[in-house]
């Protein structure tokens, strides 16, 4: 694995993670009350302890001149290993991508390759301001060793990880994806127990989908979530084909089927939810279910457009996800905010369909909330997951409405600094935790010849 680069002296002080005590003094800070100037953010033990007038600067204060401080963004759905497949499935529909790219090329990844793909994805996310990632992981090889490799990669990168441990038994999938129901449930419980006290890692069950997991597997995932008091992740109604298949095999559309199984409720995070009718949208809201919305991926594969404003009005809680690095093909939640707003505008022919303020919340506060994490906001008691952006960057000029500019105009190059659990992991737009040059060299070596093989 890529070696850790030598940190700066300040990063050395940050390396204690939860023991860190630092006072950040940006030009502007985003709070529940909007942008505030002249304020400091106090961090201790991985949490924000105060947001207060800066007053006179102290010797230990970290001044962020010309920078604005925002909550770290939350990537509510991703498949990190797929970053190694970037560019191989471009211009294909979902079935073509799955059968010609995902299935054959995922077979080439051993444990080292899986970890390398995770590090590549985590590096890109951190440089783009994502401080939490949900990795919906299904290359199990009949155990948890591969999932542990992803968790270790997240630790090296310094990103907060929700490992959505997939539970998959559809016989049409590659053998390494599949497990018997009892084994999948037991292994998921084992992984949860192994990381129960890790402040940077959460493990949550993830029956793959109504077509990728049997009714017994879906119920087993729900039982794990109930017993362990966690969320449950599941792909739902991503493509039109899934609704047709679920109706044919189970006599109900996907959301109605999940409701019949008893899993549609506050624990459930449905991923995509593109093809829902009015009744299903109302049912999701009534049951308290959540959505991980991946607008760019849905566009990239031509799957359709999730009816986001209707879901929000129904009371469905929503976070934003990038999906995998080969179905997007970039890993930036700031980009997903922009895409979410613009896509709903063109669908509804309404320039006010989804405001910048709402989009920003979906990628921060709301995304953290659906995962059960006290993150996504700059307030006392919240996790110290923070992003600084360069107010002198051309994409943020002229400065008329900074919130709207962050969502609609800001380049990813404006992200200068990132803290996760109070630890500085990006400084001056440079990743402090991994040697990026060495990482990319390993990626090139592993994937050499793949494009021609496709």
| pLDDT at residue number 7 | 35
Backbone phi, psi, residue 120, to 5°: -60, -45
Helices 436-447 + 111-127 axis angle, to 10: 130
Which pLDDT score, from 0 to 100, does residue 115 have? 98
Domain count, the chain: 2
Same-domain status, 129 and 157: yes
Looking at residue 449, what is its pLDDT? Answer: 94
| Whole-number pLDDT of residue 452 | 79
Buried b / exposed e along 158-170 (16+ C-beta atoms within 10 A): bbbbbbbbbbbbe
What is the average pLDDT score of the chain? 95
Per-residue pLDDT of 98-109, as tens digits, reads: 999 999 999 999
Peptide bond into 4 cis (omega under 30): no
- 224 sits in which H/E element: helix 215-228
Residue 404 lies in a domain: yes
Q: How confident is the model at residue 19 (pLDDT cuts 50, 70, 90)?
A: low
245-277 tens-digit pLDDT: 999 999 999 999 999 999 999 999 999 999 999
**Cβ contacts of 191 within 8 Å, gap of 6 or more:** 144, 147, 148, 163, 165, 203
- pLDDT for res 13: 43
Whether residue 166 sits in one domain with residue 112:
yes
Residue 426 has pLDDT above 90, yes or no: yes
Co-location of 407 and 260 in the same domain: no
Nearest to 329 by CA among 19, 9, 82: 82
**CATH number, domain at 187?**
3.20.20.140
Give the pLDDT score at 18.
46
Statement to judge: residues 56 and 77 lie in one domain: no
> What is the per-residue pLDDT for 421?
98
pLDDT of residue 58: 85
How far apart CA 357 and CA 72 sit, in angstroms, is 15
Per-residue pLDDT for 9 more than 80?
A: no
Q: 239 and 122 share a domain?
A: yes
CATH of the domain at 66: 2.30.40.10
Query: Within a domain: residue 62?
Result: yes
Residue-wise pLDDT for 331-348, tens only, equals 999 999 999 999 999 999
Same domain for 99 and 213? yes
pLDDT over 90 (residue 10): no
Query: What's the pLDDT tens digit per position in 263-319?
Result: 999 999 999 999 999 999 999 999 999 999 999 999 999 999 999 999 999 999 999
Q: What is the dihedral of CA 79, 82, 88, 91, to 10 degrees?
A: 10
Of 332, 415, 333, 343, which Cα lies nearest the Cα of 367? 333
Q: Is the pLDDT of residue 8 over 80?
A: no
Radius of gyration of the chain (CA): 21
Is 4 a residue whose pLDDT tops 60? no
User: Given strand 201-207, what is the order of strands in its sheet?
Assistant: 73-78, 130-137, 160-167, 201-207
State residue 23 phi and psi, 5-degree precision.
Answer: -120, 115
Q: Average pLDDT of 371-385?
A: 98
For residue 106, the enclosing domain spans 73-371
Q: What is the pLDDT of residues 391-410, one digit of tens each?
A: 999 999 998 999 999 999 99
Do residue 55 and residue 91 come from a single domain? Answer: no
């Amino acid at each position: 694995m890529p070696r850790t680069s030598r940190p700066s002296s300040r990063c050395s002080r940050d390396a204690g993670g939860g023991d860190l005590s630092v006072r950040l003094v940006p030009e502007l800070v985003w709070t529940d009350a909007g942008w505030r100037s002249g304020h400091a953010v106090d961090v201790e033990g991985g949490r924000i302890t105060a947001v207060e007038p800066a007053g006179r600067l102290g010797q230990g204060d970290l001044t962020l001149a010309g920078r604005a401080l925002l909550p770290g963004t939350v990537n509510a759905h991703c498949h990190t290993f797929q970053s190694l497949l970037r560019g191989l499935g471009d211009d294909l529909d979902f079935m073509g991508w799955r059968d010609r790219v995902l299935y054959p090329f995922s077979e080439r990844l051993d444990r080292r390759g899986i970890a390398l793909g995770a590090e590549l994805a985590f590096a890109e996310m951190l440089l783009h301001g994502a401080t939490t990632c949900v990795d919906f992981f299904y290359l199990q090889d009949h155990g948890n060793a591969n999932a542990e490799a992803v968790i270790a990669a997240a630790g090296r990168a310094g990103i907060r990880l929700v490992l959505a441990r997939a539970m998959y038994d559809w016989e049409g999938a590659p053998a390494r994806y599949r497990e018997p129901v009892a084994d999948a449930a037991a292994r998921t419980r084992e992984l949860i127990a192994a990381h129960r006290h890790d402040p940077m890692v959460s493990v949550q069950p993830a029956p793959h989908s109504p077509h990728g997991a049997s009714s017994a597997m879906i119920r087993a995932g729900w039982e794990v979530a109930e017993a362990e008091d966690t969320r449950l992740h599941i792909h739902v109604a991503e493509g039109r084909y899934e609704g047709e298949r679920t109706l044919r095999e189970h006599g109900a559309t996907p959301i109605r089927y999940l409701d019949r199984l008893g899993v549609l409720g506050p624990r459930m995070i449905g991923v995509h939810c593109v093809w829902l009718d009015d009744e299903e949208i109302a049912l999701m809201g009534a049951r308290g279910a959540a959505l991980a919305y991946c607008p760019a991926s849905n566009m990239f594969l031509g799957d359709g457009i999730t009816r986001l404003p209707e879901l929000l009005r129904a009371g469905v809680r929503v976070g934003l996800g990038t999906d995998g690095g080969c179905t997007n093909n970039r890993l930036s939640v700031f980009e997903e905010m922009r895409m979410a707003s613009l896509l709903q505008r063109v669908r509804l022919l309404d320039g006010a369909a989804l405001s910048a303020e709402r989009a920003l919340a979906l990628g921060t506060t709301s995304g953290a909330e659906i995962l059960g994490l006290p993150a996504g906001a700059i307030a006392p008691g919240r996790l110290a997951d923070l992003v600084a952006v360069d107010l002198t960057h051309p994409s943020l000029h002229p400065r008329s409405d900074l919130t709207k500019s962050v969502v609609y105009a800001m380049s990813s190059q404006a992200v200068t600094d990132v803290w996760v659990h109070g630890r500085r992991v990006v400084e001056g737009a440079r990743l402090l935790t991994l040697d990026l040059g060495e990482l990319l060299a390993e990626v090139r070596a592993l994937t050499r010849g793949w494009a021609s093989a496709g």
